[in-house]
Copies of this chain bind each other. A is one copy, B any other.
Amino acid sequence: MPATVDRFVSENQSRFLDELFDFLRIPSISTLPEHKADVARAAQFVASALESAGMEHVEVIETDKHPLVYADWLHAPGKPTVLCYGHYDVQPPDPLELWKTPPFEPSLRDGNIYARGACDDKGQMYMHIKAVEALRAENGGKLPLNVKFLIEGEEEVGGESISKYVPAHKEKLAADVALVSDTELFADGVPTLCIGLRGLMYLEIEAAGPARDLHSGMYGGAAPNAVYGLIELLAKAKDANGHIQIPGIYDDVAAPAAAELESWRRLPFSEEEFLKQEVGSSALTGEPEQPVLARIWARPTFEVHGIAGGFTGAGAKTVIPARAVAKVSLRLVPNQNPDSILASVKDWVRQNTPRGISTEIRVLSAGPAISVNPDHPAIHVAAQAFQEMLGKPTVFIRSGGSIPIVGEFAKHLGIPTVLMGFGLPDDGLHSPNEKYRLSNFYDGIRTIAHFFERYGGSGGQR
């Protein structure tokens, strides 16, 4: 990158940090109604920051819940357009007593910014704005490409408003690629692009047995138990080695290419550390013939998140529960079609519901996996920019989770997303003492600016 942009970031870094601290002081907790005004204040903060950075058409868009913020700068004809996405809302900070410093009084310790939202996602989305500011400042008010911003305030509560907004504003949001910084580096100092996300199908399976809760003394031995019926059903979903037993579930699974698997083997990953420092159980589980990274990135899962039904209070109550409901999800991988997976699950549930029990399935959400082609020019350039900034080869990883907006951009705008995040695995998102490495904040600004320059300089290869 031109030394001038680099110097601008260096010269302004304490101001950038002061601004971010002001942003972090706003308790924009989207799930708590008593913070609605704070969420609105955070939206205004974002809008002002975009104005200051020289963005145009800055809008705070009211929705049924929390505002969206839009802005653009479109004076680079013939150059590609990048749609920058981020969110200014945060998770609740509970449990408060576990924070070493208050969640909304940002504090700098050991080279880290501690605050709720430091990494997820205020600190990361603010990098986009500062990158644009730096580029304009050092280029006479011009950018090397066209930029649009769409920032939401409901990411932590389901993102309903943006899901409605995107398909209704396809032309306004048209772009060549989206940029999202809401992910992490695979390890400290390792340039990382995420090119695959699993899909998610979330279901409720409800079981009904007797007409009402029964006394287990008077009926136990002859009456069906809804909780046990559901247990019997769900236990059949996987064998002891974690292989899903639903017929057809693996039929369409696209295995990662040999080269991708090989690249995962070169990642700085220790199964032992993963088990001890992250999972904390006595053993890892799942398909033994699959490497751990494949299990969490490239294999479908069947997970039971909870069961409600029967008696779970203190002490003893001898009830045969009439009803039970389980929260169940399947993570989907590339080439799996949510509709046909749902059909397979429904067939399987019907065929495996125990005698005396009836079951019903409710679909809460269903989205396919996302793959980004690493040969797409934007990804290619992003990888180069990353490598040039951090001085190491960029690694391409996947994430086992789902970022629904990436699917929405693909579906409605027809664009891939560059998932270029600067968090670290131990940043504690959604947990007490969330942090963001200060150097990653500055490296991120520089890397994004460099990506914009390179992608603009590529002359609009799309």
Contact = CB atoms under 8 A, between A and B. Distances in A.
Contacts of A214: 278-279
Contacts of A290: 221
Interface string A318-345: 1111000101010100000000000000
Contact of A198 (B158, B217, B292, B365): B217
Contacts of A282: 355-358
Contacts of A445: none
A225 B311 contact: no
A305 interface: yes
Contacts of A357: 281-282
A240 interface: yes
A301 interface: yes
A364 interface: yes
A159 interface: no
Contact of A221 (B200, B286, B304, B310): B286
Contacts of A286: 221-222
B317 A216 contact: no
Interface in A205-228: 208-212, 214-225, 227-228
Nearest to A214: B279
A186 to B, nearest CB: 12
A95 interface: no
Nearest to A240: B354
A315 B211 contact: no
Contact of A296 (B219, B287, B306, B365): B219
A161 interface: no
A384 interface: no
A308 interface: yes
Nearest to A223: B279
A279 B222 contact: yes
Interface residues of A, number: 80
A402 interface: yes
Contact of A283 (B200, B202, B216, B355): B355
A310 B234 CA distance: 15
Interface string A287-321: 10010100110010101111111111001111111
Given A219-B278, A285-B223, A306 B295 contact: no
B354 A227 contact: no
A329 to B, nearest CB: 6
Contacts of A220: 296, 301, 303, 331, 400
Contacts of A225: 303-304
A107 interface: no
A329 B228 CA distance: 12
Interface in A223-238: 223-225, 227-228, 231-232, 234-236, 238
A387 interface: no
Given A210-B280, A217-B400, A319-B305, A292 B222 contact: yes
Interface in A24-63: none
B306 A221 contact: no
A365 B299 CA distance: 44
Nearest to A217: B401
B295 A331 contact: no
A242 interface: yes
A134 to B, nearest CB: 32
A284 interface: yes
- In order of increasing CB-CB distance, the 5 nearest A-B pairs are A217-B401, A211-B280, A306-B310, A235-B235, A221-B295
25 contacts: A200-B217, A210-B279, A210-B280, A211-B279, A216-B331, A218-B400, A218-B401, A220-B301, A221-B287, A221-B290, A222-B279, A224-B285, A228-B238, A231-B234, A232-B240, A240-B355, A281-B357, A282-B357, A284-B356, A304-B310, A305-B311, A305-B318, A307-B307, A307-B310, A312-B327
